Structure formats: C-alpha cells, structure tokens
Amino acid sequence: MERISNQQLYVLTVLYQIGSTIIFGFASTAGRNAWLAVLISTAIGSLIILLYTLIMRMNPGLTLVEWYPAQFGKWLGTPISWIYALLILYLLARGIGDLRFLVPITILPRTSIFIVLTAFALLQAYAVFSGIEVIARLGQLFLPLIFLLFFLEVIFIFSSGIMDIHNLQPIAGNGWKPIWNSVWPLGISQSFGESIELAMIWPLVKQPEKIIKTTLIATITAGLFIVVFDAMAIATLGEGIFKNSIYPFYTLIQQISVGDFIENLDAIEVLYFLTTLFFKTSIHVFVGVRAIQQLTLVPNGRIFVLPVVLIGLYLGMTMASNVSAHIEAGLKIIPYTLLIPLFLVLPGILFVVTLIRKKLEKNKR
C-alpha cells in the first residue's frame, strides 16, 4: 500500500483547496469585501475540516465511504457512501467544465477544446495510474514554484503602480449581509467543505496523529493565499470589474506593465491556473477510483481509472451549454442541493452518532 508523508499531505491539501477557486474570484459577490468574506470562510471552513478530522480520529483506518457503513450499518450507510462517490464524479466534471470554458476565452481560442480536454484527461489518468505518492511528489515540486510565481506577481503589480488601496474601502460599507451571503453556503463549501474528499487519502498518511495539525495549517495557508489574491484584484480593478468579470484574476494579470518591458503575462497565469486545476482534478479521480474500489470490494482499483476519467470528461463537456449556465449552477443550485447536505448535515449527524456509540461502548466496558 502506498504511503505519503505529512508534508506531502500539506502540499496536496493546499493545491486541492486552491484548485479552480481563484479562477472565478472567490466570494466575488461580496464586491470590495470579498477578501473579508474569504477570511470568514476560512475560519468557518477550518472548523468544518476539524469536524472531519475528528470523525477520522474516531474511525481510525477508515475512509470517507467506510465511515457511514461502520456507524449507520450496511443498509443505510452503503447507499450514503455511493452518493459521495457520485458526488466526487460530479465535482470532477465541474473541474473539467471550468477548464472547458477557461482555455478558449484565454490562450487557445482557435484550438479544439475537445483536444485540450482529452489531453488533460490522459494526464489525469497517467497521474492516477502512477499513484498518490507520485502525485504528491509532483506537488512538492510545483507548490514552491506556484508560491514563487505568486510572490513575483505581487512585486510586479506593486511595481506597476496600478493598485489603489481606497478600492478596498469602506469595509462592510453595505452592511454584513452581502458578505455573509458570500460566506454561506458557497464560501465554506467551495474548497473547504469539499475537503471531506481528502478523508479518502488520510488513512494513507504515515503519521496519522499529525493529520489534524497538518490539514488545518494547509487550510489556513490556502485561505490566506486566496485573501491576498482577492485584495490585490479589488485594489487594482475596482469593485465593479472584480464583481462582474468572469475571470477577474486573468484580468488582473493583464494590467501588469513594468517599464513597458514586463507585460503580457497572460499565458503564464493561465498555466498557473492549469497547474492547480490539474492537481485538484487528479485528486478527484484518485479519490473517486478509491471510493468505487472500496464500495465494490475490487482488489485493484486501476480498472476504474479510465472509466472515471471518461465519465468526468463527458459530463464536463455536456453539463452546461455556456459559461454563464456553468457559473449559475455552481453559485445558486449546487450549494443548496448537494453541498450543504453532504458537507455539513450528514457529517454533523455522523459525528453525533459516532460520539454516542463510542460513549456507549466505553460504558459497557
């Protein structure tokens, strides 16, 4: 069985939580207070992830799809676990859908998107065939590069003299309702609530006693990363453009111009987005394959890699007719119909049930 270190878990968690989040502008509906909405979402999201890790600690050695049969029984728990497996496939398809609309609008407007997505899907399949340890090692190479590019972007934006700190003021000028609407339910579900998927990977960590600390530090890292991105975009573009732009961070990078020499960094930014999106969707595939393998009791899950990748590719190509419908579903439909029940309600019930059962078992002794 493959094993990963806590450092590798940290890397995978950060890359997963950044994922495609920053492509569309996290909490952009909060306008100039989006950065504040991200801070609040990170704080609440950390508590939710703490809940997941506590459930993990009370069910040692078990994955997400094994928690529910273990505590709810086979007849009730197994169908719930299958719902999570199907949700993972849907989230994979949404990630591919993000890529489907991003590439033609940005760097490859004349290239067949089917070819781009097929190549991307083959990379995912190859990565998952190689195993989670290889994906984690690749993440260890790319995360420092992402942080370096991020640091350079901050320097270039400041050097361009295009930021106006007054665009961030007044704080909560329109009250707290717009901020809270961005936090609940999408802000805490997107990236943070989705991290329940990582419970499929936690049993593979060499030092399970450090998982809680590692995961929470990674969550704070990803949250602060997104906060800085939001703040820079708002200060540079202003509230109106940030709130109404489909890809505000792509628009942000287009503004960089240092001495009429360092400019036109659009392609680098898109490659930057593609890297984080690749790791998130690859984790989706790995987790989806592992979930199906455990639910079907098949010894080798590799036989599911290509079917999972192809299902994700097909759904990603067909689930939305245009980018507006894609974003609309992500903002107004999915959080209420899927994310709240599966990321908050059921884990909360599972935690209470597990706690009660553990206490009853202790009393019997």
Question: DSSP class of residue 4?
Answer: B
Domains and CATH numbers, the chain: 6-360 (1.10.4160.10)
Chain-centroid distance of CA 209 in Å reads: 24
What is the pLDDT at residue 155? 84
| pLDDT range class, residue 259, cuts 50, 70, 90 | low
User: Taking Cα atoms as reference points, which of 251, 192, 197 lies closest to residue 220?
Assistant: 192
Tokens of 141: 């190479």
Q: How many CB atoms lie within 10 A of CB 311?
A: 17
> Is pLDDT above 80 for 308?
yes
Q: How many CB atoms lie within 10 A of CB 73?
A: 10
Buried b or exposed e, range 7-38, using 16+ CB within 10 angstroms: ebbbbbbbbbbbbbbbbbbbbbbbbbbbbbbb
For residue 348, the one-letter residue type is G
For residue 292, the one-letter residue type is I
> Is pLDDT above 90 for 98?
no
Mean pLDDT of 214-238: 90
Type and span of the H or E element at 76 = helix 74-105
> Is pLDDT above 70 for 93?
yes
For residue 161, the one-letter residue type is G
What is the pLDDT at residue 320? 80
> Is pLDDT above 70 for 153?
yes
What is the pLDDT at residue 260? 63
R_g over Cα of the chain: 21
Concatenated DSSP letters for 344-365? IIHHHHHHHHHHHHHHHHHHH-
> Is pLDDT above 80 for 327?
no
Which three-class secondary structure state does DSSP give residue 263? Answer: strand
For residue 73, the one-letter residue type is G
Place of tokens 């080798």: 300
What is the pLDDT at residue 103? 81
> Is pLDDT above 70 for 290?
yes
Average pLDDT over the chain, rounded to an integer: 87
Record the pTM.
Answer: 0.93
Mean pLDDT of 145-161: 83
Residue-wise pLDDT for 260-288, tens only, equals: 656 666 767 777 788 888 999 999 999 99
The span from the CA of 157 to the CA of 255, in Å, is 8
The span from the CA of 19 to the CA of 106, in Å, is 18
| pLDDT range class, residue 335, cuts 50, 70, 90 | confident
- Residue 174 half-sphere exposure toward CB, CA atoms < 13 A: 13
> Is pLDDT above 80 for 314?
yes
What is the pLDDT at residue 164? 81
Mean pLDDT of 204-215: 94
> Is pLDDT above 90 for 360?
no
